[in-house]
Every structure is written in structure tokens, then in C-alpha cells.
Structure 1
């Protein structure tokens, strides 16, 4: 067992992807032969995690390695003195972020591997060198090319300190890509792109966590797909790499850039402290209106009526269900005294006003997103229970007030699960929260029944974009189109809802395309809208406002 400081950080472990990929490949196929390019035997933990996964999988093995000492870093130049000092301080302040780039001795995986020059017939060459390394190698050195991570949006940013530039530009999104350089695509193919929400702050290391941790399993998934389905299947999911911004120009921030960054972030910090001195709170409310959208998708919240919120609580994640001629509203109810979510319901009268809310589910850990539905003669609910690390199915035994835990549907942390039944197939959409600090990915599963085994879809993840991954409500029908709705959490948590048309839904293929969005108007006072539902002639929404804490009885 390696020393504690040489172990793969737990923050990089994605147990779901390892369970799906590590030992599930067809062992009759020859394992992929992997080559590794590195600047030395000590690699950042995020790269060491990939080597560790390859060493434990049954579909690939490391066959060759080549070391290429890195060139003199631009950080030692006189033009980057400020950056050299600032980056060292930022690393000290980065907490868990420092773990993902902590150097790990990779001797245990590479020491007994042949030198690259002595080995031919490689399937994939992994490039773990610094991005500004010279183009000594290209896609011709392996059958399926040279694969590498790019910790930035290559269309917008040049090489530089990972995720500093996004904060400097006040960009709400921070991306990471896995790209392949091949003989047929020497400029590169994007095999996988993940978009996370930027974490603004002085210490840019916190902005590295979401994208880098979220991308930790990209390589494992792509190599697994290559071994199982072949290069054509991998290429079918790819896109041409955009013209990279100064791909080989090292953009270590200069003194003026660092000074401007520090001044801007300091001003933002002062502003935030002044705002926080007023003890504001992000308060979620739910609202209802007569259904004015019909077959259309909502494009505004005009005409909504706020649902009276019980004292000391917030109401969010509203869902409607018509059952035996009566309309019921289900919500997440958070009591501010303990900040734990419980599920509650109330009957909606014919005039759109709710009756008294009653708590219907309280497990002691946080619950939200009461996705409620009928199947056969029974009513079921799949609440969001990621705090417990699993997805559970509940059945109403005395609707709507008494619920029984019926089955564990998914043994990993996931959020906001929804169900769509079509042609006898049960499709489960969920959003993976494993690893917990990684950017969220939307997953799709199918089953032959509500209680059947979940079979992962071949297209997983169906979204790795913070603007389109996490469900904001049930699957909708709109003028014959099947619509998946998702929370856009780029600017802030729960900022908006984006609607996408599902254009292909089969056991082997999934495709969707954006069609519209529901975004708070600038003068509305709303900072976010993140759940929508309709039934029984009404529509329900939730929205968040920043309010002084004294205005909310706690």
C-alpha cells in the first residue's frame, strides 16, 4: 500500500463509473495497448488516477512509456514575478483543490513498462505532459491517436494556469475536454467535453475542483467504449476540435494581469461582505397560475400567484398530480431552523389556492424534488435523496399522506430523478453526484418495469454540461415533441430552465437539441427558476430571491 500522501485522493474516485467500466468489458477481446507520455515519473494526481484505473481494468494495459523533461517554465521569467508569488499563495489557500494536482510517484504503474522507442503497435497514446510541450509526438504514433486533456475551453482560452482565466474573464462556465489527435484528424477530435459552473473567488484553485474532478472518469469511459464498441462508436460521439487559441503559447499571467485580477477580486469580496452584513438569504418560493402554456413551453412567469409559505420555511421543487379527480401539490419544504428538506403536500382548490401543507416524508436527511407519478393502480414517488447516497422508490399506502419505501433504484448518489414510460420501456433520467465535488452528469437508464434492473444507456453520459444536465421537472409533451427540461446552473444554482427536444430515444441511441429557455427577467427580482410542472389546468414554478433574513421568520 502506498504512503498516505501518495494515494489517489478520494476526491477523484468515481465509484459509479468504476463499477460500470472497470471489469465489464468482453474479455475475449484483446486488451488495448496504451502508451504514456510524461515529463517525469511524478504526475499530478488527476493523471495518476487514470493510470490507477487502467491498472485495475480488464480491457487495457500500459505497454509503453516515454519521458520528456519539461522546458523551463515561463513562471521563472522576470515578467511573471507577481504570478509566481500569487500562485504559491493561491495553492496554500486552495484546500481540496491542491489535492487534484498533487504530485504522485507513478513508479508502481510505469517502472516495469518498456520504453516507448522499443514498442510498436500501440492503440492509444496518452499525453500527460505539460500542455506547452513541443509537438514531438502526434496522432501517428498510435492506431487511435494521441489522447490528452485540455483543462480549459480551447475555443476561448490559450494554455495557462487551469481555470484562472475563466475567473479573470468573469466567465460563468469552466470547461474541460478530452481530445484525440489522429492521422485523419490532426487538428483533433473532441471525444468528451464537460462544462462546469465557475466558482468565483480570489483563490482560483476552488474553480478547478468541478471540471477536473468531473473529468476524472472521462478517459476510463472513452477507453471502455473503444474496447467494447470500436473506434467508429467513439468517433460518432466526437466533434471536430475548434481552432485552439494559441495552442503552443504559454500564457502565464504577467504582472499587470495579476494586479488587475487581485484588485477586481478584492473589490468583489468587499462588495460581497457588505451585502452579507445585511444578513441576506436566498429564499425559495413556489407559485401557481392557470395553465396558459397549453402545448407550448413556458417562456415567462407572468401572472403567477405566490403560494403562501408557512412561517420559517421555504417551498421549492413543486410537482402536481391529479389523482381520483383531485389535484395535489407536492413540494420540498425546508425549515430554516435546521436547513433539512422534508416533503409536504397540499390539495389545490378549484381557484388555484392550496389547502394546508402536511409533511408526508421526513427521513432525517435532506429530501427534495418529490417526483410523483402513477403506475398501474398505484402512486409512486422518487424523491431526491442524494444526502443518503442512494435513489429510492416510494409507494403511497394511504395517498397522499403515508408512503412506504419500496425499492432502492440506484446505489449511488444522484439528484433529481425523473421517469418516462414509452412503448412499455421505463426510462430513468438522473444526474450523477459521484464524485460529490465533481461537475454533474446526466445519465439515462432503461428497464422493462418500474421494479426492474436499471440498464445503463450506451450514450451515457447524455449531458456533461451544467446548463443541461440536472432535471428541472418531468419529461413534457409539446406539439408532439418530447421535451426534457434541465436546470441551468452556470451563472448560479438554479438560475434558469432550459428545454431540449429528445430527437432520438432507443436502447442504443439518445439525442437531444435545445429549443427554448425560461430565464428570470432582469427587473423581476428573481435570481433563479429551477422547477416547472403542469397538470389539472394549472402550472407551478419555483423561484429564488435574495431577501434580508429578518424578513423571514426563522
Structure 2
């Protein structure tokens, strides 16, 4: 047996587990990092009459939500775990087989999916303790109540994560947590994204533990989980009562009226903004800017600034609404702040965006976002800036968004937002890879992946830039809605074992200057370019008054 293979026991309350848990277990066993040596069954805790009524009301709400928005909660579909077990021993708590399991060869860990408090004797028998999931804030141990409080309270993000319980600890230790964007309309969409994303948590953290060892893993946990950002621990009274149910019903009606109003009296369009830049960390601030508004049949987004032969060019995504998929375009920036007519530089039968242009050995290359094609593609420039030819695929069989390269300490690093399941959001988990050459096809995954797991700051938002010896990574804020705002993050540590960053500035337009969002920052010589959602208001000043009122 490999030294990186963990002996684990699984704790469940019955034969059937949720579909997302089945998928987690299937991936874990397929990775060969875990050998399952026993399955322990615990009796379910009988709920009170009030809890049963609340559960019935919640199930009814989610059933109606699934019908209205065509989004049933597939993550909770019951699935028998028996097909995954083979000849694994099954036992009940307190039985002779259970005692034999505890007295036998030591366990490395136990994975508890029962939603109950951990068994003390199992914690004592497991080297790395009992691992279990938690959901929401206030936190609970049952996926039945994921996203209920967040949706009712109009919060932007849903917290979820993994904690481990070990002998001698007064409270469980949070070893990983992530945030998922709430959906402004459907409660079920937030639940689906949260649960399917959680299937990766335990396999990823066990992979990290195996790769870097217990000491470095514990150090990463301490640095990853800051005390100020630790989820609140309250496991009592998390089931929804009548008051929360009424608030959920009110939010449904409120969302419907808001969407109807926007459809009748507003039109939103992505545009570009330019401004002169002095303090580079404030380059994304939407003040003292000049608007570049495209024709109403299209939008412009994802700007990148490239200097060539003493002139500056802006590469960006252009999408014609009638065509439905994006292509890449370019303009030359004039000295007076104006620009040349846009010229299309790259089209494909699938969507293109995020034109990341870089130089290597005197040659220009372009990496567009091609997640729809499940590739990370690189193109070589034959005639700047208009002619680009396909060079190779850096990655295949992946759904990677907004790949961004950085050369640092003799290595090339690739940052990309990725998702492992189609029902997850593509904007909430940042993955990091490294290679010795930017044109390599053998990118090695960072053991901490995902290095950022937050809807508010994971997805890349432009080229990583240097200022005063520091590295800054622009990122998108997609909490609550895609492209809500921009962050600038200071990279504190970047090496083969650890990645750390802190947000140093954040921009959320939220209606200011007739803008409702932004999500990419391009830095040039003395100039910065961003994109923004421009609101065309059909009711003029009355609409602005309504926006302030609401």
C-alpha cells in the first residue's frame, strides 16, 4: 500500500446517501488515495413534530421552486452506496464488528456523513480525526437546510466547508471552507451549486495532505482559515420556521416584480471605460473615466492593454447579440484618448473571450477563454495585432475560464477558474498550475487547489501586475450576481506548496454612474481600462429615484 493511501471508515445513517455524497465517494475511491476499510451505520435521530412540519414546508417550497425555474435539487436524490463498497465490512455502532474495526489496524481518518455529533471512540481511533461537512451560517450538519437562511436574508454568499473533530479539541477545527453565490431568483439554484461543489472538498484536502504531509497541511489550514472569516458555529434551531418561510415567499414576489421592472424599463450593456492611472492599485476605481459605448447590437468586455512599437492596443471580447457567441477584437489607442475602429482578430465556432496576450522569447502569444470547447488554447501572432494562428492546446478535457499566466521565480504559473460539475458555478474556485515553460502541455496542479474558493474573489479579472516589488492579482466579485465588481489582491506567498493573497481594494458600482457591475481590469502605460455594465434607463430621472429608494 502506498504511503499516500489513507485507511478510512465511512459513517452513514443508512444505505442511501445524497447524490452529491455518492459522487464524492466515487471520486475518492477512484483516486486511490483512500482505502475504505469499514462502513459504520448510525441510527437516525428522530425529529420533533415542529421540525417535521418545518421540513415538510421546506420540501414543498423547494418542489415549487423546481417547477417554476426548472431546477430540481438533483444533488439530494437518494443513491445506494452499496455498489461502491465491494467486500468492505459493514457494521452498526456498538456491534462486535464495530469493536473489531476500532481494535484492528489503526485508521487514518473517518468520514462522517450522518449529520450527527462524532463518536468519541471513533475520534480516538483515527489518526487525523473525524471529517464532516457543514453548511451555512448559522452552520448545520444536514444538507437539508443549505441556503435557507441566506436566501431569506438576501445574503450574497452561502458558506460551506469541512471540519475535523479530534480528541482533546473543544470545538471542531475548520480545515476548509468556500462560498457559493446565492441566486437572486431561485433558492434551488444556490442549493445545487453549493452541494455539487462540496463533493470536491474532502478529496482535494486529502490529496493536499498526501502531497505535503501533516505539518505543512496544518500550516496551510491555519493560514487559509483566518479567525475573522471563520464561519459562525451555531447548530441549534437551524430548521426554517414560519417567519423564515414567509420571508422566502416575500422574496419570491419581490424578485418577480424587480425582474419585470428591469425588463420593461431598463436595458443593460457591457461597455469599456478608460482613465489615466497614477496609483496603480486604484486603477479599477470607476471615477474620472471615459466611456466607450458600443453600438446597441453588441457589447464589449474583458479588455487587455498591450504596448507594441511605442503604441498601445486594447484587445477585448466583442459579442453581437444576434450571433450569440463572442469573438475577439482589437483597437489602437490614440494619444488624445480616442481609438481606432475595432477589428476582429479571432473567431471560432465556439465562444471566445478574455484575450490574454503575453510575450515569450520575443514572440506574442494569445490565450483566449475557450471553456465551451473544453480546452486551454494558445495562438501565435504572425502579424501584430491582426493575424493569429493556432499553436497548440495547453490543456484538454477541462472547463477552464480566464486562464492567466505569470512568470515568477523561474516558473510559469497558470491561474484559472474551473468547475468539476456542470451544476456548479464557473466563477467560484481558482485553480493554480505551474510549468517550466508557458507553452508546456504538462502543467502540474498546486496541492492547495482550489487556492481561492470564494464567489467574491476567485475568478481572474485581468493580467497580474507588479508594483513596488509586489504582485497584484485582479479578481472578479461574483457574489450574488456574475460580474458584480472588481478586487485587487496582494499576493503574499506563491510557491510550490502554498498560495496566499489578501484583498487590498474592491470596487462595487451598484448603480453608481449608471453602472451595475464590472469584471476585468487592464493596465497600460499611464492608463487603465475596465469593463462595466452600463444601464440604459428608459424612465430617466424617475428610474434613478426608484433605484435610490430601493
State TM-score, norm by structure 2: 0.88
User: Can you give the 5+ residue segments of structure 1 that lack an aligned partner in the other structure?
Assistant: 1-26
- 1:236-293 deviations in Å (ceiling 9; x for gaps): 222478575432x243222333123212322321232233234x43310002123333
Residue 277 of structure 2 is aligned to residue 277 of structure 1: no
**Structure 1 contact 174–211 (Cα < 8 Å) conserved:** yes
Give the superposed CA RMSD.
2.6
The residue number in structure 1 matching 2:455 is: 466
Seen in structure 2, the aligned counterparts of structure 1 residues 237 and 397 have a Cα distance that, compared at 3 Å, is same
The structure where helix makes up a greater share of residues is 2
1:303 to 269, 288, 300: 288
Query: Matched residue of 1:544: which SS?
Result: strand
- 1:11-410 mapped onto 2 (5 Å cutoff): 28-29=2-3, 31-74=5-48, 80=54, 82-83=57-58, 85-90=60-65, 95-110=70-85, 112-114=87-89, 115=91, 116-120=98-102, 121-130=106-115, 133-137=116-120, 139-154=123-138, 161-201=145-185, 203-239=186-222, 242=230, 244-247=232-235, 249-278=236-265, 280-293=266-279, 295-298=280-283, 300-310=285-295, 312-410=297-395
The separation in 2 between residues aligned to 1:472 and 1:538, in whole angstroms, is: 17
* Contact 2:133-2:141 within 8 A present in 1 as well: no
Cα distance in 2 for partners of 1:30, 1:472 equals 36
Question: What's the counterpart of residue 441 of structure 1?
Answer: 429
- Does the CA-based 8 Å contact 2:147-2:187 persist in structure 1? yes
Q: Which deviates further from its counterpart, 223-232 or 64-73?
A: 223-232
User: Is contact 2:107–2:127 with CA below 8 Å preserved after alignment?
Assistant: yes
> Kindly tell me: are residues 323 and 194 of structure 1, through their superposed partners in 2, closer, same or farther at Cα, counting changes over 3 Å?
same
Aligned equivalent of 1:476: 465
Give per-residue Cα distances to partners, 1:449-489, cap 9 Å, x unaligned: 12222121223221011112111111112222111110011
For residues 371 and 244 of structure 1, what CA distance do their matches in structure 2 show?
Answer: 39
Q: Which secondary structure state, in structure 2, belongs to the residue aligned with residue 194 of structure 1? A: strand
Q: Which residue of 1 aligns with 2:548?
A: none
Q: What CA distance in whole angstroms lies between the structure 2 residues aligned with 1:351 and 1:43?
A: 64
Change beyond 3 A, Cα 1:30–1:276: closer
The question of whether the paired residues in 1 share the 8 Å contact of 2:401 and 2:417 is answered with: yes
Q: Alpha-carbon deviations, 1:187-227, whole Å to 9, x = none?
A: 112222111111123x5221112221222111111222233
Structure 1 contact 430–442 (Cα < 8 Å) conserved: yes
How far apart, CA to CA, are the structure 1 residues paired with 2:80 and 2:141? 30
Structure 2 vs 1, CA of residues 238 and 479 (structure 1 numbering), >3 Å: closer, same or farther? same
Q: What 5-or-longer segments of structure 2 have no aligned partner?
A: 92-97, 541-550
Compute the displacement of 1:76 (Å). 6.0
Is the Cα contact below 8 Å between 1:75 and 1:83 reproduced in 2? no
Q: CA, structure 1 residues 158+170, in 2 after alignment: closer, same or farther (shift >3 Å)?
A: farther
Q: CA offset at residue 311 of structure 1?
A: 5.1
Q: Which moved more, 1:38-47 or 1:517-526?
A: 517-526
Q: CA deviation at 1:308?
A: 4.4
Query: How far, CA to CA, are the matches of 2:259 and 2:141 in structure 1?
Result: 27
Q: Is the 8 A contact 1:432 1:441 kept in 2?
A: yes
The Cα shift of 1:78 comes to 7.5
Partner of 1:11: none
Cα deviation per residue 1:364-408 (whole Å; 9 max; x = unaligned)? 211111111222221111111111111111111111111011111
- Residues 320-351 of structure 1 show CA distances to partners (whole Å, capped at 9, x for unaligned) of 11112221111100101122111000111111
Distance 1:158-1:354 versus aligned 2 partners, 3 A rule: same
Contact kept in structure 1, 2:164 and 2:175, CA below 8 Å: yes
How far is 1:31 from its partner?
2.8
- Aligned residue number for residue 417 of structure 1: 403
Per-residue CA deviation, residues 472-528 of structure 1 (Å, 9 max, x unaligned), is 111112222111110011032111111111122222332212211133265322111
Aligned residues: 519
Alpha-carbon contact 1:189-1:238 (below 8 Å) kept: no
Alignment partners' CA distance in 2, 1:45 and 1:328: 49
Alpha-carbon distance in structure 2 between the residues aligned to 1:134 and 1:181: 9
The partner residue of 1:505 within 485, 490, 494 is 494
Change (3 A) 1:491 1:478: farther
1:470 aligned counterpart, secondary structure: coil
Residue 524 of structure 1: SS of its match in structure 2? helix
Contact map agreement 1:390 1:413 (CA 8 A) in 2: yes
1:106 to 1:94, Cα distance in 2 relative to 1, 3 A: farther
Question: Who is 2:94 aligned against?
Answer: none
Q: TM (normalized to structure 1)?
A: 0.87
- The SS at the match of 2:303 is strand
Report the alpha carbon displacement of residue 548 of structure 1 after superposing the two structures with TM.
Answer: 6.0
Shift of 1:302: 1.8
Single out whichever of 443-452 and 260-269 deviates more from structure 2: 260-269
Following TM superposition, by how much is the alpha carbon of 1:536 offset from its aligned partner in structure 2, in angstroms? 3.1
Q: Secondary structure at the match of 1:282?
A: strand
